[in-house]
Amino acid sequence: MTPFPSFAVNSRRQFLQLAGTTVLPPVLSAASEPATRNSPDIGPVGQAENCILLWLGGGACHVDTWDPKRKGDGKKIAGSYYDPIPTAVPGVQVCEHLKRSARLLDRCVLLRGVHHEVIDEHAAATNRMHTGRPPSGTTIYPSIGSIMAHERGAVGDGVPPYVVMGYPSASRGPGFLGAGSGYLYLTDTKAGPTGLQRPTGVGRQRQARREKLLGRIRRRFLDKNSADTRVRDYSAAAAQGLKLAGPRFMSVFDLESESNALRQAYGSEFGQRCLLARRLVESGVRFVEVSFNLNFINGTGWDTHNEGQQQQHRMIDQLDQAFAALITDLEKRKRLDRTLIVIATEFGRPPEFDARGGRGHYSKAFSVVLAGGGLKTGQAIGTTDELGKTILDHPVSIPDLHATICRAMQVNPAKELYDGIRPVPITDNGRAVPQAFG
């Protein structure tokens, strides 16, 4: 089986395989042991092997979801838009439309004191949340997904380390880590990942005809250029690519193979994405980002300005159903402790309403949810004031949030990566939230 610790290909690896060597350099073997596992000096450490990031693009309102406050009126009186309900964790409430997740909240850690200072633009805040830093004019910082791909590779053989369900953007990219730590993406669970699905009208038989002809053409070119490692690398990549696009990995995208009951349990298109995320993680993908901003549900998606507020509960309900199904499914399959689920968004929203009953942007306090991953779950960390605007205790900066994800994933957040000769730590002095670890 061909290992895919990352997308990068070099012909030395291919050469070793061709030579039938069984001893691979450690960096190339799948599921490499994290180097920092037993280093006691860098704080708490988790036990997660995979991460699923549920990304609520647009800026999900914390006081309407995970951090409910006294109720407002949708007009002049500021406050939450919904009633709070109790959860499986005594004393911790969430919004009434999160009723399924509420019952599973003992599998979660709510971080209610997340904050940054980027508010006016989605792309900039999205970039901050994914890279943990303000953009720089001297480099492009990698996303958290690419960092995981780079540091830990794929778990399994023959699969990519990092998959995005959503639109491609530099914020999700590998930055200075290079294309080897990039992602595979798809925007539609039915269509499958871009670049892997064969084009319209090319069936298996026709593909075989194509590959047979290409194989001969490539062989001749390789023979003429056998000394050229770049040519060999490219040919090796082509062979691995065809394998990746082959039935084994592509069968992961076949949601039809799951029971109807389970598919219904996950619910909407977003739910199906979450189900696919579970399947990807099981196949050995290290990090999956699932975006959820299907704006046709309520008009605005999570960016609930104006009238977008009125149907926000439909978004919350779909999130609730999918998240609860994912936790339950992973637990049943005994993967929850090894799979960290993160629900994040670029910022929260203020308790006040705008002129048409919606909400603006707010980043001085908002919530991020962690679940599973071997964390000390069943708690809310951090408190905000009576309207969710000021953090009263346990603030979590974005570097701290990244450090927490890193530690849960057994990666050292202080480790220096290299942009050429320039050392860049994974986080800028980020410190994992200690209470989240048992």
Coil, helix or strand at residue 223: helix
**Looking at beta carbons only, is 91 or 199 nearer to other proteins?**
199
CB of 59 vs other proteins, minimal distance in Å: 10
Tokens standing for 263? 């598919």
Within 13 A of 345's CA, how many CA atoms are on the CB side?
29
Tokens standing for 161? 């380390």
Q: List alpha helices for 377-427, DSSP H.
A: 398-408
CB of 146 vs other proteins, minimal distance in Å: 12
CB of 173 vs other proteins, minimal distance in Å: 8
Query: Which value, to the nearest 10 degrees, does the dihedral of the CA atoms of residues 97, 99, 102, 104 take?
Result: -130
**Looking at beta carbons only, is 184 or 324 nearer to other proteins?**
184
**Looking at beta carbons only, is 57 or 373 nearer to other proteins?**
57
Query: Which value, to the nearest 10 degrees, does the dihedral of the CA atoms of residues 130, 131, 135, 138 take?
Result: -150
Sign of CA dihedral 9, 202, 278, 92: positive
CB of 75 vs other proteins, minimal distance in Å: 19
**Looking at beta carbons only, is 10 or 32 nearer to other proteins?**
10
Neighbours of 233 (CB within 10 A): 17
CB of 407 vs other proteins, minimal distance in Å: 18
CB 432 within 8 A of CB 400: yes
**Looking at beta carbons only, is 108 or 274 nearer to other proteins?**
274
**Looking at beta carbons only, is 143 or 377 nearer to other proteins?**
143
Distance CA 418, CA 141 (A): 11
| Nearest CA among 80, 392, 390, 128 for reference residue 381 | 392
CB of 182 vs other proteins, minimal distance in Å: 7
DSSP code of residue 396: B
Q: Which residues contact 388 (CB under 8 A, 6 or more apart)?
A: 62, 63, 67, 69, 348, 351, 365
CB of 320 vs other proteins, minimal distance in Å: 19
CB of 21 vs other proteins, minimal distance in Å: 21
Q: Which residues contact 108 (CB under 8 A, 6 or more apart)?
A: 101, 327, 369, 370, 371, 377, 378
CB of 381 vs other proteins, minimal distance in Å: 23
**Looking at beta carbons only, is 19 or 227 nearer to other proteins?**
227
**Looking at beta carbons only, is 39 or 429 nearer to other proteins?**
429
**Looking at beta carbons only, is 184 or 341 nearer to other proteins?**
184
DSSP 305-359: -GGGGTTHHHHHHHHHHHHHHHHHHHHHTT-GGGEEEEEEES-B--SS--TTS--
| Nearest CA among 195, 136, 188, 143 for reference residue 170 | 143
CB 131 within 8 A of CB 139: no
